[in-house]
């Protein structure tokens, strides 16, 4: 596939780029092509020129994905260049590539309350929109009034909250569109109280979640009325290793890369946890993490 770079002079299109450095697990094979737009306008222009049959994957900060060792076919778009964040008529406008933690800080700087939970989400806001990411009891779509999206042909839409069905780690809306930005409305609040709440919430997280090794955060969604980590722990899987990947001994819903793990090792632990929980409790754990690409060294025909 050939694309005319002159159309996006400040953006980058490269072939065969390893994705491991773009994911929080630090694993994964190459993207066949990697496009890094420097603006929303460049992204929309790129989509308009992209061949209809080209496989397309969007990647934010890579905090909730497992890229397989064989890499991702087609084009991967890295949205981290979409970083505009400002206050507009009492609402926050935030583009897809802005880290969620930056939105939490922006709320405090402008005397707005309710966004503190975003400090606990390690990904980009586009990813948070796509899965209704949450932390500390708060969820992304609780504060969304409108979103801006684009389809595969580069057509841009402005859609209201009511056009989406939103649930726990699940968002359903018009098919074939990706999130470019959102308008959020928060209530006025006390910035100092907000700072205290963020410090308190992060302190609690540091006490209960593993730190120091690459991970994606929670691997599985919590089944209704249950905690995925508790189910995995009861199955005796805390500390279980495959290769250089390990189920955390601090929190069983975390899988750690101990340094040099393969994506296949991590995926094998995911499958093991699912199988053990299914046998013991009759519950099928649903991954919260999105698995991308094709298999690598452990793939069999």
Res 220 pLDDT > 80: yes
The answer to whether residue 250 scores a pLDDT higher than 70 is yes
79 Cβ contact list (under 8 Å, min separation 6): 37, 43, 58, 59, 60, 96, 97, 124, 126
Q: What string of DSSP letters covers 202-246?
A: HHHHHHHS--SS---S--BPPPTTS-HHHHHHHTT-TT-EETTEE
- pLDDT at residue 6 above 60? no
Query: Of these residues, 169, 185, 195, 205, which one is catalytic?
Result: 169
Domain boundaries 211-292, CATH class:
alpha beta
Residue 207 confidence (pLDDT): 78
pLDDT tens figures, 40-71? 999 999 999 999 899 999 999 999 999 999 99
Domain with CATH 3.30.43.10 in the chain: 9-81
Burial code (b: 16+ CB inside 10 Å, e: under 16) for 271-298 equals ebbbebbeeeeeeebebbbeebbebbee
pLDDT-based confidence at residue 173 (cuts at 50, 70, 90): very high
45, HSE (Cβ side, Cα atoms, 13 Å) = 16
Average pLDDT over all residues of the chain = 92
Is 288 one of the annotated active-site residues of the chain? yes
Q: 């020129």: which residue's tokens?
A: 49
Query: Which of 32, 218, 248, 276 is an active site residue?
Result: 218
64-17-101 Cα angle (round to 5): 35
Q: Give span(s): CATH 3.90.78.10, the chain.
A: 211-292
Report pLDDT digits (tens) over 176-198: 999 999 999 999 999 899 899 88
Helix axis angle, 191-208 relative to 100-109, nearest 10°? 150
Distance CA(145)–CA(266), nearest Å, equals 37
Cα(41)–Cα(18) distance, integer angstroms = 25
Question: Where in the chain are all domains bearing CATH 3.30.465.10?
Answer: 86-206
Q: Is the pLDDT of residue 301 over 50?
A: no
Locate 130 and state its tokens: 């796509």
Model pLDDT for residues 104-119, shown as the tens digit of each residue: 999 999 999 999 999 9
Phi, psi angles (nearest 5°) of residue 195: -65, -40
Of 59, 62, 188, the closest CA to residue 113 belongs to 188
- The residues pairing with 35 across neighbouring beta strands, listed in sequence order, are 13, 77
Q: For domain 86-206, which CATH number applies: 2.30.40.10, 3.30.200.20, 3.30.465.10, 3.90.600.10? A: 3.30.465.10
Query: Can 215 be counted among the known catalytic residues?
Result: no
| Helix H or strand E encompassing 130 | helix 125-131
What's the pLDDT at 4? 56
Q: Tell me: pLDDT of 297 over 80.
A: no
With pLDDT > 90 as the criterion, what percentage of the chain qualifies? 83
Q: Class assignment of domain 9-81? A: alpha beta
Distance CA 271, CA 106 (A): 39
């Amino acid at each position: 596939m050939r694309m005319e770079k002159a159309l996006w002079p400040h953006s980058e299109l490269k072939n065969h780029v390893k994705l491991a450095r773009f994911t929080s697990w630090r694993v994964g094979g190459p993207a066949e092509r990697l496009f890094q737009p420097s603006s929303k306008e460049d992204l929309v222009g790129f989509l308009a020129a992209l061949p209809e049959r080209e496989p397309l994957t969007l990647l934010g900060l890579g905090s909730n994905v497992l890229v397989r060792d064989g890499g991702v076919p087609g084009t991967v778009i890295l949205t981290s260049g979409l970083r505009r964040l400002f206050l507009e008529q009492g609402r926050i406008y935030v583009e897809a590539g802005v880290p969620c933690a930056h939105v939490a800080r922006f709320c405090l700087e402008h005397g707005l309350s309710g966004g503190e939970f975003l400090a606990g989400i390690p990904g980009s806001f586009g990813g948070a929109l796509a899965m209704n990411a949450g932390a500390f009891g708060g969820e992304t779509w609780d504060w969304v009034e409108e979103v801006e999206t684009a389809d595969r042909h580069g057509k841009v839409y402005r859609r209201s909250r009511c056009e989406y069905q939103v649930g726990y780690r699940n968002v359903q809306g018009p098919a074939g569109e990706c999130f470019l930005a959102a308008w959020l409305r928060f209530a006025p609040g006390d910035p100092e109280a907000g700072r205290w709440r963020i410090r308190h919430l992060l302190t609690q997280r540091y006490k209960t979640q593993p730190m120091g090794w690459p991970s994606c955060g929670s691997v599985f969604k919590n089944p209704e009325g249950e905690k995925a980590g508790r189910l995995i722990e009861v199955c005796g899987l805390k500390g279980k290793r495959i290769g250089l990947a390990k189920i955390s001994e601090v929190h069983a819903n975390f899988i750690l890369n101990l340094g040099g793990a393969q994506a296949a090792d991590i995926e094998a632990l995911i499958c093991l946890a699912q199988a053990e929980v299914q046998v013991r409790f009759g519950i099928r754990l649903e991954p919260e993490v999105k698995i991308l690409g094709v298999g690598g060294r452990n793939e069999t025909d």
